[in-house]
Amino acid sequence: MFDVNSRQANVIKDILNDYTLLQECYLEWASNFSSHEAVIQYLEGERIKVDGIKKQSTFNLHSSHWNRITIPIIKKLAPRNIVKLKKQFNTLLDIKHDEVWRMMWYWVFFIHPVRHELYYFDDHYPPGYEGRLSKLLRSHRMGLKAAKKRYIRGKGIINSGDYFIKSCGTVAFKHLLLHPTTAQWQFPREDLLLSLQRLEVTHGDLSQDEMITAILLSHVGSLQFDQWLSYAPCAINEGPIFIIKEGVNPLECFDIIGKLLSTNKVSQMNLRQCIQAFFNIKEINKMLISQTT
């Protein structure tokens, strides 16, 4: 198991519990509405932006369709919970040791949104996803192409602490962690700037140099609370809601799943079995339930 001290373990459990409260808060709020028009009327009354939210063919507030308003809603309904969660988040990441700090990154992303992604694995990682992943790592506005351009424009006179480079690193970290075929890539002992200097962005499968550069970037990223919470709000509005079981150590779940992702036995069924051993699951998106069960 990853080496987490007792203080960090307690903070992680607190974050798990308080994140569940945010999911429950959204669930309770959503239960008050039965039509698109009623939601829009509420949002406009609360001065929450609704531009571009089209009417669904089947009304369902537990859907990524409503990602844009999910975080504003929970910030309005549960401001104290948000403040508490942010304090816990900052406490967990207030670490000087690089390896431990990176480990905490993995943990907060596992809580949100990776558990959601893995529970609905078939929906999020369909066959052919590797091609999309390569495109994201290369062509995202803060992907490999953008990092290379930053290096060229700076004429090599930049460092790994450069704000834009760190932002590219955050993007790389997200995509690498979220995809099971790359989550276990080994960290190369190379210099990031030298890797950027020789990098040639290609097409098709990622080249060895592209993989190395993406991993190196992922180790210099920066992460703020709002940036984390606002990433993939569907993990909140779609669920499922994860409730820690009595008498279990949720840190063991992370360890087991990490080992599973490094094998060729990755499947939605196996991942769910791991998660369900540590969490009681409350599925709230009926459309996702019908697609994945």
What is the identity of the amino acid at 6?
Answer: S
Which helix (H) or strand (E) segment holds residue 279: the answer is strand 279-282
| 183-241 per-position pLDDT tens digit | 667 778 888 989 999 999 988 888 889 988 998 888 787 778 998 898 889 999 999 99
- Is the pTM higher than 0.85? The answer reads no
Alpha helices in 94-241 (DSSP H): 98-109, 115-119, 121-124, 129-139, 144-153, 163-178, 192-198, 208-218, 225-229, 234-237
pLDDT surpasses 60 at 289: no
Instruction: Identify the pLDDT of residue 50.
Output: 86
Instruction: Identify the pLDDT of residue 291.
Output: 47
Radius of gyration of the chain measured on its C-alpha atoms: 20
pLDDT surpasses 90 at 48: yes
Instruction: Identify the pLDDT of residue 292.
Output: 44
pLDDT band at 29 (very low <50, low <70, confident <90, very high): very high
Alpha helices in 154-224 (DSSP H): 163-178, 192-198, 208-218
Q: What is the mean pLDDT of the chain?
A: 86
pLDDT band at 180 (very low <50, low <70, confident <90, very high): low
Cβ atoms of 225 and 89 within 8 Å: the answer is: yes
Neighbours of 69 (CB within 10 A): 22
Least confident stretch, 9-18, 36-45, 259-268: 259-268
Tokens matching residue 215: 């991993």
Instruction: Identify the pLDDT of residue 43.
Output: 95
Between 155 and 290, name the one with better pLDDT: 155
pLDDT surpasses 90 at 120: yes
Which helix (H) or strand (E) segment holds residue 53: the answer is none
Q: Which residues of 155-177 are buried (b: 16+ CB within 10 A; e: fewer)?
A: eeebeeebebbbbbbbbbbbbbb
pLDDT band at 293 (very low <50, low <70, confident <90, very high): very low
Beta-bridged to residue 242, according to DSSP, are 281
Range 80-84 average pLDDT: 96
